[in-house]
Amino acid sequence: MPPSATVPPSPPPDSLALRTDLELLEVAGTDAPKFLQGQCTADVEGLPVGRWTWAGYCTPKGRLIATFRAGRSETGYVLQLPAGSAAGLANRLRKFVLRSKVTLAPLDTLTVAVAVTGTKPTATAHDALQIGAIGAGDFRRTASAAVFGTTEGLVAHLSGEGGSALATTLAMSPIDPRLADLVDVRAGLPWILPALEDAFVPQMVGLDRIDGVSFTKGCYPGQEIVARTRYLGTVKRHLYRLVLAGPAAPGDPVLADEQQVGTVLRAVAVPGQAVEALAVIDGTAAGSDNLHTAGGRTSDLQRVHPDPVA
């Protein structure tokens, strides 16, 4: 039988969640634009100050070590990553700094990501955070906050006290943070958690479909493989949203007739309701009647980034 639990509702249209699943890495210095341009998949050197873009960092074989939002400030960039990723990425990047005037520092003091959705609280949050108007794709860096404007609302990184103060200012009781995670899953956001480093080329998680890969910029680690994958059309695995019959974790296999045909990228369990997930699955197996994980059958399989219609 397919999963029978009810699908969790979307968060209320005006809501706030205090999250601990995202963290920040700052890449600053005179040479930061040129340095980061040569390390990640996106055109960050051409990114205007006050904007952010999706990007990824790959191995020489074109496999993703990390995906992140890169926001550009007056002094460099702030990278937003899944919790547990910033220190490892910083250590990798430091190997290539050499004599470049670049500093890499996880922002330990900005530990709480406050997700604000809807239009009513967002306007008030602009004033409370002293960031002015901010829309999807905008980025603001102040002495006390780093704020990413997304399609769903705002994601503001503050201190724990700052997050509580913002909730008080907005007169809102924070919702279950897993509902904010659910928004990410339903939006198909391709976060690469530490458990899945070196598992996928960018096209498998759709990073190229959300402007996280530039095919016209200069070289970066893995660039040749990523470009070849694009122009030869060799991607067989794609990103899917699905409902799971039981709990799962990033890296868990997706099976068809006991053969692995995919991998869970992210799963969100809301108590008493269905587990929703993102998984990278072989396109030829996506229509199988016996697609399952260790927890049971899957259902409601939907491709996140369908191929363009000819």
3-class DSSP string for 88-136: HHHHHHHCCCCCCCCEEEECCCCCEEEEEECCHHHHHHHHHHCCCCCCC
198, two tokens? 């070196």
Label residue 8 by pLDDT band (50, 70, 90). Answer: low
* DSSP bridge partners of 24: 80
Residue 226 CA: distances (Å) to CA of 46, 64, 95: 20, 10, 22
Highest mean pLDDT, choosing among 53-57, 132-136, 273-277, 287-291: 53-57
pLDDT in tens, 246-267: 889 999 999 998 899 999 999 9
pLDDT in tens, 301-310: 999 998 765 4
pLDDT in tens, 46-69: 999 999 999 999 999 999 999 999
Is the distance from CB of 143 to CB of 45 less than 8 angstroms?
Answer: no
Q: Phi-psi category of 132—alpha, beta or left, where left has phi over 0 and alpha has psi -120 to 50? A: left
CA 286 to chain CA centroid, Å, is 23
Mean pLDDT score of the chain: 88
**Average pLDDT for residues 157-181, to the nearest whole number?**
80
Q: Which domains does the chain have, with CATH numbers?
A: 15-186 (3.30.1360.120), 236-310 (2.40.30.110)
First-to-last alpha carbon distance for the chain, in angstroms, is: 36
pLDDT in tens, 17-39: 888 889 999 999 999 999 999 99
**Average pLDDT for residues 72-96, to the nearest whole number?**
95
Query: At what angle are helices 160-170 and 120-129 packed, to 10 degrees?
Result: 130
- pTM of the entire structure? 0.91
